[in-house]
Structure formats: structure tokens, C-alpha cells
Amino acid sequence: MPGGRPTDYRPEYCTKIIDVCGGGASVTEFAHEINTTPQTIYNWSKAHPEFFDAFTRARAACQTWWERKVRENLQNREYNSRLVEFMMSNMFPDHYGARQKIEIEHRGQVNVRSLSREELVRLASQVIDVEEVKTPELAQPCQPEAQNNGNETPAIE
């Protein structure tokens, strides 16, 4: 039997999250309504396939609610479009968040040995999600290399 605190998850939360978020509420609002934390909601979505499905539908229902409100108020001069833009970009970053396009063109060699570990991670993070590919070796600070006689090219770890 696994140890730890028993879950507060209830199957009826599948319906409830869709109902609550379908009215424009965020995951945080739903969590507050059922007296738990947003992190618990995310954990349940990973642990319970039926809740993951409901969670996904609830996010779509929430986005639909916000999109309808925007459409309903297109002609309303009193509508705070900057606030809505802020809300949409933060609540639905995949659809409304700021997009960055990074183009890198380089010809020649780059001497990465002269860069600090922080500089290398910063440069790599512009191209890939460093946290996603972090290995135990990357988590450790660089160890000074043993001296060689100058005939060998040091290996890049």
C-alpha cells in the first residue's frame, strides 16, 4: 500500500471543472472553489486519465468563454481591450502569447571553451528548453580538465 496522504480527488470533479471553467474561471479559481491548490489540480490531471480529459475540456471551455466575451464586445468602446489582451495572453499563451522568432546564421567556428557555464546555458536556452534536456552531468559544475601535452584536443562533454 503506498504511503502518504490520501488524495482528495473525487470523480465528480471531472464534471465540476468543466462547469466552473466553462464560465471563464481559471484553474486557480476552480482550485479555490474546491478548497485545494492549483498544483493539486495539475497533479490530478497527471494521475487520473479521466480528469486529464476533463481538465483539457475545461481549458477549452474557458478559452471559448473568453473568446465569446471579446466577440460580444467588439463594438463596445468601454470594454477594456488591454486587460483582455493581458488575460488572454497569460491564460492561453499557446494561442495568444507573444511569439518570438529567433534566426541565427553563423559561418565559421565558435570557441565555446572561452564561455562560462552560465553563458553556455543562456545561449543554449535560446534554441532549446535546457530544463527538458538537463542530465545529471549538466547539473554538476564543470570540473577542471587534466592538463594534456598540447597534442590532444580536449573532448567536449
Considering the domain delimited by 13-96, tell me its CATH architecture. Answer: Orthogonal Bundle (1.10)
List the pLDDT tens digit at each of the 157 positions of the chain: 456 677 899 999 999 999 999 999 999 999 999 999 999 999 999 999 999 999 999 999 999 999 999 999 989 989 898 888 898 998 888 888 777 777 777 777 767 777 788 888 887 777 776 566 555 555 555 555 455 455 554 444 4
Question: Shortest CA distance to 26 belongs to which of 73, 53, 74, 58?
Answer: 58
DSSP, collapsed to helix, strand or coil, labels residue 59 as helix
Question: Shortest CA distance to 124 belongs to which of 145, 102, 140, 143?
Answer: 102
Domain boundary assignment for the chain: 13-96
Q: Establish how many alpha carbons lie within 13 A of residue 99's alpha carbon, considering only the half-sphere containing its beta carbon.
A: 4
How many whole angstroms separate alpha carbon 146 and alpha carbon 154? 9
pTM of full prediction above 0.85? no
What's the CA angle centered on 133, arms 132 and 135, to 5 degrees?
Answer: 120
